[in-house]
Structure 1
Amino acid sequence: MSDLLTIEWLGKPLWMWLGFHVLIAALLAFDLGLLHRDKEHEIGVRESLGLTGFYLALGLAFGGWVWWYLGPQAGEEYVTGLVVEKSLSMDNVFVIAMILTALGIPRVAQHRVLLWGILAALVLRGLMIGLGAALVHQVHWVLSLFAAFLIYAGLKIFFSGPEEESDFSDSASVRWMRKTFRITPELHGQSFAVRLPDPKTGRRVLWFTPLALALVLVNGADVIFAVDSVPAIFAITTDTFVVYTSNIFAILGLRALYFALAAMVDRFAYLKTALALILIFIGAKIVVADTFGLLHVPPWVSLVVTLALLAFGVVYSLWRTRGEPPAEAVSAHPHRAT
């Protein structure tokens, strides 16, 4: 048995992968079994910030173990990856807030959508990271392709004008789903599906609720954002274990972070600029260091630059929007689900 656990898989002993997944399973069980036994419990900003701090502390503690066991470089790459993924997830939070508001999902039900959305995101990110790792380790120039994409994405975000809020409730995907599947016009508690009479036959059939519709859109948004975040983390390190663990810890805290950020969505108007600069910096680092071999940028420099840009974006946003009334991004009402 001990020989089996020491077999290497994706560059690391099997026991490291199993141990990490046992830890994640325990955290999910803790979250489901203890923190949110009451389905009618509404998560407030204070609780959201507390849970965010809890998951961030756990993520950093795991980074400390990576630093101790795998060495300082791996530790620095892990923390940098965690910060970058957490930063990029903030943009995802704002889109999720617009989706849930447009579909009229009340706060008390939002945590259920986010919980299952994050569980699905863990699987999807794992698959995308596995594919990315296979490409990077077999075809080295893929890193240069990732770098070019990150620079392009960063420049596109940086020079884009003010975005108009999308009406997700009337988007093409929502219209298609409403036409293809039976979807109730109103919520049914916190159920994703219910059995109700068919208007034509009178037989009880399966109907999906707007909660299920929201879950599909949230997962779709995560896939779109993963197109940026997965190349970004591989541009920081090609160590698959570091890439995967930092990504998963960043996603784990996303649900907790949501309720704090979504309540202040209008206060972070300039955060996109900081995220754009982070993407450009990471892409440029790969172009300079790996593609042309001109200058090696140590992991700690990447970490410092990423933290500085993120801090600047947050502080500048809060300063420019001081005195403005708070957003009502998550104060959705059930009657808007029609």
Structure 2
Amino acid sequence: MEFTDALVMGKPLWMWVIFMTVVVVLLALDLGLFHRKAREIGVKESLLLSAFYITIGLAFGAWVWVNIGPASGKEYLTGFLVEKTLSMDNIFIMSVIFSYFGIPRIYQHRVLFYGILGVIVLRGIVIGIGAWLVASFHWVLYIFALLLIFTGIKMLFTSDEEPDIEENFALKAMRRVLRITPKLHEQHFFVRLPDDKTGAIMTWVTPLFVAMIMIEIVDVIFALDSIPAIFAITTDTFVVYTSNIFAILGLRALYFALAAVVDRFSYLKPALAIILVFIGSKIFVADLAGWEKFPSTISLGVTVALIAGGILYSLWRTQTEPKDGPHDGKMHDTHVGDADGRHISR
């Protein structure tokens, strides 16, 4: 057996090499070609980049379909769509974090780009743990399924509330252990400045770095929903990880197009809640019906129908609604410092 045919988590090494090569090329193009210099990304460019990333993600799904099988291809597409939809809430939280720290749009891409590097690693760790749990204890799938059903029902009956960043535990912890500058220093994450008390030159972190860490933490929290969802769709680690990463890769580009109009998709949440309940119920339905596995064609079809219905209903219901309230389509830049009572330095 050739070295490239050696199995890594159930799939030949060459498949993982192809996947990682595509990801590295995309990241290199993003940083080295598309966004070499800090600049503001417009809605048109954001939509074009989003379409590009979605096309790449779907093309990889077609590759999975051809090389692994139609069932795996459908499971990949289902996972890709579910993760994309779950990312809508992620975009809203990103908007709140950027607004709180007063991060201008010109520097937001830098935070999101380096954030995605952390996401690739963190999601890999979480998925690896999940795969080990499922392989070692099959009943964990039932725990994941019940968690999804509970989460979906909770989403149906709870209203959206803007998170209180000021009282966030992670932010309070960073304030205690890090020297944080009271204002931005262009696109730098770290700066060398004199200490307030001793005058000695010390390394400080900027609000840009704190915002990036907060977004990483948010992604880990959201992974607690999305990872059980994809494992309820398939236990193939390769399909789980690749569908997750390709869905997330385009999140940065999608953010700049949707952050200002995220309220237009407010009625997508009930559709997503029903999807989570549906995905969580599949394992129980399959057991009751005596199936070895819930049909992937039905799973993909129901997911597509619910997402499309949620998007169309949202656009129809919000087209005439007044744009006032906490999220009116504008990025609310706030100033970080004593002026608004939120001085973030130690």
TM-fit CA distance, 1:301: 1.1
1:179-218 Cα shifts (integer Å, max 9, x gaps):
3311111100011111111111111111111111111110
1:211 aligns with 2:208: yes
**Mapped contact 1:93–1:262 kept (Cα < 8 A):** yes
1:285 aligns with 2:278: no
**Mapped contact 2:323–2:329 kept (Cα < 8 A):** no
Matched residue, 2:333:
333
Matched residue, 1:116:
114
1:330/1:230 CA distance change after superposition, 3 Å: farther
**Mapped contact 1:101–1:330 kept (Cα < 8 A):** no
1:45/1:200 CA distance change after superposition, 3 Å: same
1:336/1:265 CA distance change after superposition, 3 Å: farther
Matches of 1:84 and 1:108, distance apart in 2: 30
Matches of 2:74 and 2:284, distance apart in 1: 20
Matched residue, 1:33:
32
1:227 aligns with 2:224: yes
1:15-56 Cα shifts (integer Å, max 9, x gaps):
1111211111111111111010121x1011111111110011
1:56 equivalent among 42, 54, 63: 54
Q: How does 1:29-178 map to 2 (within 5 A)?
A: 29-39=28-38, 41-160=39-158, 162-178=159-175
Structure 2: tracts of 5 or more residues without a match: 338-342
1:320 aligns with 2:317: yes
Runs of 4+ with deviation above 6 angstroms:
none
1:208/1:251 CA distance change after superposition, 3 Å: same
TM-fit CA distance, 1:332: 4.2
2:304 equivalent among 304, 307, 325: 307
TM-fit CA distance, 1:287: 1.6
Matches of 1:38 and 1:328, distance apart in 2: 30
Letter in 1 for 2:59: A
Structure 1: tracts of 5 or more residues without a match: none
Matches of 1:258 and 1:76, distance apart in 2: 26
Matches of 2:200 and 2:269, distance apart in 1: 50
**Mapped contact 1:196–1:206 kept (Cα < 8 A):** yes
TM-fit CA distance, 1:336: 4.0
TM-fit CA distance, 1:329: 5.8
**Mapped contact 2:189–2:209 kept (Cα < 8 A):** yes
Normalised by the length of structure 1, the TM-score is: 0.94
Describe the SS at the equivalent of 1:335: coil
1:330/1:118 CA distance change after superposition, 3 Å: farther
Describe the SS at the equivalent of 2:204: strand
Size of the alignment, in residue pairs? 334
1:196 aligns with 2:193: yes
1:256 aligns with 2:232: no
TM-fit CA distance, 1:328: 5.2
Letter in 2 for 1:33: G
TM-fit CA distance, 1:267: 1.3
Letter in 1 for 2:69: G
Letter in 1 for 2:204: W
Matches of 2:283 and 2:8, distance apart in 1: 26
**Mapped contact 1:5–1:13 kept (Cα < 8 A):** yes
Matches of 2:260 and 2:170, distance apart in 1: 26
Letter in 2 for 1:38: K
Matches of 1:3 and 1:175, distance apart in 2: 52
Matches of 1:171 and 1:74, distance apart in 2: 39
Matched residue, 2:13:
14
1:172/1:98 CA distance change after superposition, 3 Å: same
1:219/1:330 CA distance change after superposition, 3 Å: farther
Normalised by the length of structure 2, the TM-score is: 0.92
**Mapped contact 1:150–1:282 kept (Cα < 8 A):** yes
RMSD: 1.7
Matches of 1:4 and 1:141, distance apart in 2: 34
Matched residue, 1:24:
23
1:148-194 Cα shifts (integer Å, max 9, x gaps):
1100111111111x222223145343233223311111100011111
Letter in 2 for 1:34: L
TM-fit CA distance, 1:330: 5.9
Q: Which moved more, 1:110-119 or 1:310-319?
A: 310-319
